Amino acid sequence: MKAFRGYIFDLDGTIYLGQHAIEGAVQTVNALLGMNKKILFLTNKTIESRDSCVRKLNKLGIPVTLEHILSPAVVTTRMLQERYHDKKVYVVGEEVFKKELRDSGVRFADSPEETDVIVLSWDRQFHYDMLNFAYQAIKKNGAIVIATNPDRTCPLPEGEVPDCGSIIGAIEGATGGKVQTITGKPSCHMAAAALQALGLEAEECIMVGDRLETDIRMGQIANIHTALVLTGVARREDISSSGFQPEYVLQSVRDLVAAAD
């Protein structure tokens, strides 16, 4: 593996699981920082704020700041501000995600009839009334649907749990249509935001993550180099049957350090 100027890391399943760092991850990131490599963490998770990600990484021993974290909340907010700044939005999501949108000036809808845009994100309190609200807004008002990420599950120490992909599935099942716009990984919107944050070209960077259909696929979409780690969702046997082939397969992120010298 060649050395790169920029390293883009997924978090869950790549750097940590729950509250615990994956073995060698802290040492690897700190070694890269010591080599003056540019580092960015990309998460599709919307149930935690970027501030909480910074606190978690700092507690684990990785000295990063808010500028090192990119999430769908950031990209979604930018999209709403640029394309739908005068529209009303219905958000399926937890309060931490809603707060980020609200603080940016996004106007929330109170009824399906006034809803112009629906934003779907991971919500562990998702229920039928939310599904019906979104369905009515789409059918009655032609509301546009944006989703933060297509992840079917999120890896936790005790196993995987349903993520935003399952909520997308509910909306698609009810309407018979497809959600076309994704703001997080693997979308071109997230990739462009990551490269802008790093100030680097795609060929100077590598995307390191544990999901073939999001981390590796995003790298391929944006012509960013890719490395799959086997500490999260994907297993080695998944690779041959996937349409998204990583350039490198690593047991964990600790394998990056020797190549970065």
Mean per-residue pLDDT of the chain: 95
CB 194 within 8 A of CB 159: no
Give Cα 235 to chain centroid, integer Å: 20
- Please state whether beta strands 144-147 and 117-120 pair in parallel, antiparallel, or not at all (unpaired): parallel
CB 239 within 8 A of CB 212: yes
pLDDT per residue over 185-243, tens digit each? 999 999 999 999 999 999 999 999 999 999 999 999 999 999 999 999 999 999 999 98
Q: How large a percentage of the chain has pLDDT more than 70?
A: 98
Q: What single letter denotes the amino acid at residue 82?
A: E
Q: What is the pLDDT of residue 141?
A: 94
Q: Which residue intervals of the chain are DSSP H helices?
A: 25-34, 50-60, 72-83, 95-103, 128-141, 164-175, 188-198, 217-222, 236-239, 256-260
Cα within 13 Å of Cα(42), Cβ side: 34
pLDDT per residue over 9-19, tens digit each? 999 999 999 89
Region 124-133 average pLDDT: 97
Cα four-point dihedral sign 201, 202, 204, 210: positive
Tokens of 102: 């609200």
Report long-range pairs for 104-107 (Cβ below 8 Å, ≥24 apart).
104/77, 104/80, 105/81, 106/77, 106/80, 106/81
**CB-count burial class (<10 Å; 0-12, 13-18, 19+) for 65:** exposed
Q: What is the pLDDT of residue 180?
A: 87
- Report d(CA 227, CA 245) in Å as an integer: 9
Q: Is it true that domain 6-44+185-260 has CATH number 3.40.50.1000?
A: yes
- Report d(CA 250, CA 157) in Å as an integer: 20
Tokens of 221: 């979409």
- Report d(CA 86, CA 73) in Å as an integer: 18
**CB-count burial class (<10 Å; 0-12, 13-18, 19+) for 129:** exposed
pLDDT per residue over 64-73, tens digit each? 999 999 999 9
Tokens of 2: 């060649």
Helix (H, G, I), strand (E, B), or coil: what is residue 146? strand
Region 103-125 average pLDDT: 97
| pTM metric for this prediction | 0.90
CATH architecture of 73-182: 3-Layer(aba) Sandwich (3.40)
Q: What is the pLDDT of residue 158?
A: 83
Q: What single letter denotes the amino acid at residue 130?
A: M
- pLDDT at 261 > cutoff 60: no
Q: What is the pLDDT of residue 259?
A: 59
Give Cα 256 to chain centroid, integer Å: 22
pLDDT per residue over 142-176, tens digit each? 999 999 999 998 877 888 899 999 999 999 999 99
- pLDDT at 260 > cutoff 80: no
Count other Cβ atoms within 10 Å, centred on residue 177. Answer: 10
Count other Cβ atoms within 10 Å, centred on residue 176. Answer: 6
Query: Where in the chain are the domains?
Result: 6-44+185-260, 73-182
